[in-house]
Chain A
């Protein structure tokens, strides 16, 4: 096995949630901090144990200050498929790399973690004793050690089939934990201002990470709703803009989304949400605006566009329209005195979004958005494309038996010229998404069929 001289190997312990979203998150963050994703494994599949090479411990620490997909990172000293293999591997680890953390002035402790199995205290102690061959010279301190070493034993993923012996055993020096606690502290349950479709906190941080948001960036959400996605970006030090076509949501007025609450209170608006987390200084502005008819002057000023466009299910897809387009019974937004049309086709919306991103993102800036999909008909060709934007990742989250949404991340790689607006209208590549215009009907088709079936059987 070749020794990689300048790169150190690290073990990432991943959380077993949002499986498809993890690799793009880690890759995006590594590239944000000047690293590159290098690993000896081809794919990670469902495993929570990832071995990668990272140029420096600094980059590893920066990664952990951002990730919500990884629980912890360890400097990997050895691993194997059996205790013997592990001990051999440890004996091959360069002693000069171990010594700084084992010298007599330092304190340490060794932790045993087992995955998918429980060990008795006795069994754990045996394993620690077996490591006595390592040149530990420091003192054991169980309360506040300077260095923590961990043995991680992988007993697979099936709780109904726990092997006698682990598949893999790893030994490493603990470096840092990830940011999973943000998921609880930013939970939508505790947030002052929410809407019907406010994004789950974990996913909103994943989106900011896929978007490579960094300090002093300007991040924009053209379908801002209650501002949940802006919160994650602001937490990472970006200044935020949002627009929404719905006057009431932007102003924080109207009916509340919480059960048992009729109207929104005075502290329920996007600015108040940021204030709740001490992030008000990152609030730039929000505007009432139609994303298909943006009011920004020509130029590139957004470092990232991170958004969850309406799918037409729980929030309507709208754009401003002419008087005759208003369906019967549709209320006009009283404050804006502008009629809104319900007939904004989904494919048009993504066309507008990609074009807008291509025009206003800085070069290298990212667009991160959700694409609703009718699973039985989905093919990769349906993902909207644009000559200025490169597809970085496409991660699925199931919504129901026949629908899902995909988190699409794109990066601007080419300067926007006007003619780009027309070139992909002619492309066959783009047309397949037309089918998604009827996403709303397809989403409900399962319900309609079931109701029809029930009615039929009750008549029999």
Chain B
């Protein structure tokens, strides 16, 4: 699971609503996966990023050189974009859990794939 994905996921446990974001990340196996750098795509993603959640996740994984927020003129700043490219797309959590911050419910990550399934009782509104 990439950190871009983690940044877009939220718990849908019943009653939790917007307090289900961000999911607390815990990783037991992480892999760095080189991905071809595409500055245009990274620049497109910057406005969609929730920075506090990204920084929290990056911190959990002990990542360094993580920009603290979008900088002026980021669209043309290659250094910034390369750092964001690495954080968002090259760090892959293979095994771990995502935890709903409100209910404590755990969603497992196996082989890089999160399992977000809940039973009907857990999601009924």
Q: Which residues of A contact B (CB under 8 A)?
A: 215-216, 239, 241, 243, 245, 247, 250-251, 281, 284-290, 293-299, 301, 320-323, 325, 333, 335-336, 338-339, 341
Chain A residues with CB below 8 A from B116, complex form: 243, 287-290, 295
Chain A residues with CB below 8 A from B44, complex form: 216
A297:B120 contact, CB within 8 angstroms: no
Chain B residues with CB below 8 A from A294, complex form: 12
Contact pick for B118, options A286, A293, A297, A335, CB 8 Å: A293
Q: In the assembly, what is the distance between CA of A294 and CA of B36, in Å?
A: 29
How many Cβ-Cβ contacts under 8 Å join chain A to chain B? 91
Contact pick for B9, options A247, A296, A341, CB 8 Å: A296
How big is chain B's contact interface, by range? 20 to 34
Chain B residues with CB below 8 A from A284, complex form: 2, 4-5, 89
Chain B residues with CB below 8 A from A325, complex form: 120
Mask, B24-36, CB within 8 Å of A = 1, is: 0000000000011
Chain B residues with CB below 8 A from A333, complex form: 117
A344 to chain B, nearest CB (A): 11
A322:B117 contact, CB within 8 angstroms: no
Q: In the assembly, what is the distance between CA of A295 and CA of B22, in Å?
A: 11
Chain B residues with CB below 8 A from A336, complex form: 115, 117
Q: A216-B41, A338-B119 are in contact. Are A295 and B12 (CB under 8 A)?
A: yes
Chain A residues with CB below 8 A from B21, complex form: 297
Is B18 positioned at the interface, with any CB of A under 8 Å from its CB?
A: yes
B41:A297 contact, CB within 8 angstroms: no
**What is the chain A residue whose CB lies nearest that of B38?**
A216
Cross-chain pairs A/B with CB under 8 angstroms, 14 sampled: A216-B40, A251-B113, A281-B35, A285-B1, A285-B2, A285-B112, A290-B116, A295-B11, A298-B10, A320-B118, A320-B120, A322-B121, A333-B117, A335-B115
Interfacial residues of chain B within 76-119, with CB under 8 A of chain A in the complex: 89, 110-119
Q: Which residues of B contact A (CB under 8 A)?
A: 1-2, 4-5, 8-12, 18, 21-22, 35-36, 38, 40-41, 44, 48, 50, 89, 110-121, 123
A338:B113 contact, CB within 8 angstroms: no
B5:A285 contact, CB within 8 angstroms: yes
Chain A residues with CB below 8 A from B123, complex form: 293, 320
A298:B113 contact, CB within 8 angstroms: no
Q: In the assembly, what is the distance between CA of A336 and CA of B115, in Å?
A: 7
A287:B114 contact, CB within 8 angstroms: yes
Chain A residues with CB below 8 A from B18, complex form: 297-298
B117:A296 contact, CB within 8 angstroms: no
- Besides A299-B8, A320-B120, 15 other CB < 8 A contacts? A216-B38, A250-B113, A284-B4, A284-B89, A285-B2, A285-B113, A287-B5, A287-B114, A288-B116, A293-B12, A297-B10, A321-B120, A322-B120, A335-B115, A336-B117
Chain B residues with CB below 8 A from A321, complex form: 119-120
B45 to chain A, nearest CB (A): 8
Q: In the assembly, what is the distance between CA of A295 and CA of B36, in Å?
A: 28
Chain A residues with CB below 8 A from B118, complex form: 290, 293, 320, 338
Q: In the assembly, what is the distance between CA of A338 and CA of B108, in Å?
A: 13
B48:A301 contact, CB within 8 angstroms: yes
Chain B residues with CB below 8 A from A323, complex form: 119
A281:B36 contact, CB within 8 angstroms: yes
**What is the chain A residue whose CB lies nearest that of B48?**
A301
Chain A residues with CB below 8 A from B114, complex form: 285, 287-288
A371 to chain B, nearest CB (A): 26
Q: A284-B4, A285-B2 are in contact. Are A295 and B9 (CB under 8 A)?
A: yes
B71 to chain A, nearest CB (A): 21
Chain A residues with CB below 8 A from B112, complex form: 285
**What is the chain B residue whose CB lies nearest that of A362?**
B48
9 tightest Cβ-Cβ pairs between the two chains A and B: A297-B10, A322-B120, A288-B115, A289-B116, A295-B116, A285-B5, A281-B36, A338-B117, A216-B41
